Structure 1
Amino acid sequence: MPPAQGEYPLGTSQIRTGTFTLMTQLTPARAMTAPALPDHAPVFLAPRGTTRPWYDLSTVDPMSLTYDDVLLAPQPQTEVESRRRVDTSVPFGPWRLDLPVVTAPMDTIVGDDMLALFEELGGCTFWPRCDDPVAVAVAHRVRFGPGVRCAYSIGLGDRPESTIELARALADAGVRMILIDIAHGGQARLVRTLGALQSHPDLAEVVFVTGNIATASQARSYLEPEPVATYVRVGVGSGGLCTTRLIAGTGVGQLSAIFDVAGTGLSVIADGGVRHPGDVAKALAAGSQVVMIGSLLAGTDETPGEVIDDGHGPRKFVRGQASFSYMIDNQIAVDKHRAPEGEAGFVPVKGSARTILTQVSGGLRSAMSYTGAANLAEFRRRAVFTLVSNATLFENQPHIFRR
């Protein structure tokens, strides 16, 4: 029996023509309009040159997909003749990014050197939570100029008034984008606070980013009864240093989470699960506006911290923001009510993050040329995914040295 109306994943024609079209008729505070639903649902390659929508996969649970489960199928009769001719730029809040990649707000990944590199390459930096984000923002405007592409992270205070007060101070310092940085973006308290922030007259020029979420039902809480968010981080438990799925048993396959949330019309920041440059291309093809990377940059020259060599080669320290190390350093209690959900340790030094970001940019351009897409909007429309077997996953690797 087919699902009843409204039970299909958001982004399908059943939803676009069903009850959820009412979202476009809302008149929320700040004249914020509900996002337009995508006109295209991600599709998978099927036999004899046909395709099928992602939610109609018959051989695998469609909500279990990760980056390693898929490849992008090369397309026929493409007009893009060179990687140099594709446009990887994307609008992102108050800016336009040349590289649709942003940093994760991690204190062992992001510092002034990483911010400077992302400024140069056209990405965006998410500054981690700190004791005085206003002072940091002022210093960045002095060093990098008033147009610095940096979002600043704040927590969800005990009272909405305290969160609004901090956000107003950041806005007075010239900040254009603020991240409400919490692990569980499905909290009703977060939705209420976002509504208060969006409606405040002193914050009309600030873009707020929220999350993390992993399902369309969570996304709808930001849209109904009125939209209170535009950009949302998507990913629960998929980070390279995250243990949420092991400790809390909670999460959704990262690619499926992107499919599901992007179908609501919210602008997705794909957060977590990126282990290879090609994963960035897959995330963007799946519907992400930008891709957030953290552990991929671990050990690079631009990350904060000293290089140590204790006989195991030069290494640098890295930790998740929910690790025991971070919790101790930031006076976060570890007791029966809270367990660490992240790891910490040392990774080999990798050299400059520029090399990694160049691979990401080049890989994205190559993926777009295989798809025949001149820009990212075309990339999302033209992309066709294909499921891979375990044998294909092995075949994906340069296997001549594995015999």
Structure 2
Amino acid sequence: MPHIDNDVKLDFKDVLLRPKRSTLKSRSEVDLTRSFSFRNSKQMYTGIPIIAANMDTVGTFEMAKVLCKFSLFTAVHKHYSLEQWKEFASQNPDCLEHLAASSGTGSSDFEQLEQILDAIPQAGNVVTGEMVEELILSGADIIKVGIGPGSVCTTRKKTGVGYPQLSAVMECADAAHGLKGHIISDGGCSCPGDVAKAFGAGADFVMLGGMLAGHSESGGELIERNGKKYKLFYGMSSEMAMKKYAGGVAEYRASEGKTVEVPFKGAVEHTIRDILGGIRSTCTYVGAAKLKELSRRTTFIRVTQQVNPIFSDES
């Protein structure tokens, strides 16, 4: 029988972090690097736990070259060939510890993945604690959390299914950490403050798509119109992506993504520095000397307005 859960679920836009007493004298004192030991595979990882999404307009080799300089992670999209992987690996050996191969679930996908690298068990996407627990107990190290919050995702509109991202992250992190597992907050971030909120809510990693789209290192066609440059950015379940890789939208399903033209932003390095600078500033406001401490120092307050709207540019 249908049931209504009357508990209010919240998104990043519904809250702000409450500032707290801090002894930090400078943002430069904040350590954003984290080290992880994964429950099931026993593998280790050290880096700044921000991930470029496994979309062909974001998770590119070009993106990985820049992100690895900052010790950020790239989930490389699954449409590179084995030969392309070999060439990249031979030319960029220092990047390999900061990237993973994305894969589908068909037999050819598994064969390709085995050829590229040993898979680090990850699973997703889910939004509830019980599914997180089931996946971790089934062997996954990291669970991707998020259904429908992405900037070019239309799943919620097409299906009516979803979960506000902040609440999803908080509930799933609680479930995962109780089993010594980890989660990735996937989607819903539109600014550095949202990334900080995801970490504050308990995310171990934060995956970004739209915030990294539109750069020189991003995939997607570069378009020039009326003297202005744009880059195409689309969801991997969009009609454009399915036409590109599957010959079109299968008659039994609907497209669950859209295509947008993102104003060209130039090199991604500036955006990365802006994101990392914002998170360091968050940590100083709440008194967290390390990123790992941020969730323990976080108190969210409900708000009705995030910013002063007098000027339309909220960047």
Q: Do they superpose with TM above 0.5?
A: yes
| Structure 1 residue 135: Cα displacement | 3.0
User: How far does residue 311 in structure 1 lie from its aligned partner after superposition?
Assistant: 1.9
Structure 1 window deviating more from structure 2 (303-312 vs 80-89): it is 303-312
Aligned residue type for 1:235: G
State the TM-score, normalizing by the size of structure 1. Answer: 0.69
Of the candidates 94, 111, 132, which is equivalent to residue 219 of structure 1? 132
> Aligned pair 1:356/2:260, yes or no?
no
Aligned partners of 1:335, 1:155: CA distance in 2, in Å?
A: 16
Distance apart, 1:359 and its partner CA: 1.1
Paired residues, what number? 297
Q: 1:401 to 1:296 in 2, by over 3 A?
A: closer
Matched, 1:237 2:159: no
Q: Secondary structure at the match of 2:294?
A: helix
Q: Distance in 2 between matches of 1:274 and 1:355?
A: 17
Query: CA offsets per residue over residues 340-376 of structure 1, 9 Å max, x none?
Result: 0000132211122111111110110010011101112
| Pair 1:120 & 2:69 matched | yes
1:80 matched to which residue of 2? 24
Task: State whether structure 2 residue 213 is matched by structure 1 residue 268.
Answer: no
Query: Partners of 1:271 and 1:297 in 2: how far apart?
Result: 13
Residue 86 of structure 2 is aligned to residue 142 of structure 1: no
* Whole-Å separation in 1 of the counterparts to 2:99 and 2:23: 36
The equivalent residue for 2:114 is 168
| CA–CA distance in structure 1, aligned partners of residues 250 and 230 of structure 2 | 31
SS of match in other structure, 1:386: strand
Structure 1 SS opposite 2:300: strand
Match of residue 166, structure 2, among 239, 245, 255: 255
Closer, same or farther in 2 for the Cα pair 1:167/1:400, shift >3 Å? Answer: closer
- Aligned residue number for residue 151 of structure 1: 100
Checking the alignment, whether the CA contact within 8 Å between 2:238 and 2:256 is kept in structure 1 is yes
CA distance, structure 1, for counterparts of residue 110 and residue 233 of structure 2: 31
Give the whole-Å Cα distance in 2 for the aligned partners of 1:114 and 1:163.
22
Which blocks of at least 5 consecutive residues in structure 1 are unaligned?
1-59, 179-206
> What letter corresponds to residue 15 of structure 2 in structure 1?
V
In 2, Cα distance between equivalents of 1:147 and 1:325: 30
Query: Pairwise CA RMSD of aligned residues?
Result: 2.1
The C-alpha deviation readout for 1:231-258, integer Å capped at 9, x for no partner, is 0111100000000000011110001110
SS of the aligned residue for 1:399 comes to coil
Q: Determine which of 231, 244, 260 is the counterpart of 1:316.
A: 231
Q: CA deviation at 1:166?
A: 4.0
Q: Deviations over 1:186-243 (max 9, x none)?
A: xxxxxxxxxxxxxxxxxxxxx21111111112112214xx441110111100000000
| CA shift digits 1:25-48 (9 cap, x unpaired) | xxxxxxxxxxxxxxxxxxxxxxxx
- 3-state SS, counterpart of residue 221 of structure 1: helix
**Unmatched tracts of structure 2, length 5 or more:** 1-5, 37-42
Change in Cα spacing, 1:323 to 1:218, as seen in structure 2 (3 Å) is same
Q: 1:100-138: per-residue Cα shift (whole Å, max 9, x none)?
A: 211001111232221111011110111111163x33332
2:144 alignment partner, SS class: strand
TM norm structure 2: 0.88
Structure whose CA Rg is larger: 1
Within the candidate set 16, 28, 35, 1:71 is matched to 16
Aligned-pair distance for 1:268? 1.1
2:75–2:99 contact (8 Å) kept in structure 1: yes
Question: Which secondary structure state, in structure 2, belongs to the residue aligned with residue 250 of structure 1?
Answer: coil
Q: Give the letter aligned to residue 75 of structure 2.
A: F
Pair 286,125 (structure 1): closer, same or farther in 2 beyond 3 Å: same
> Which residue among 185, 193, 200 is the counterpart of 1:285?
200
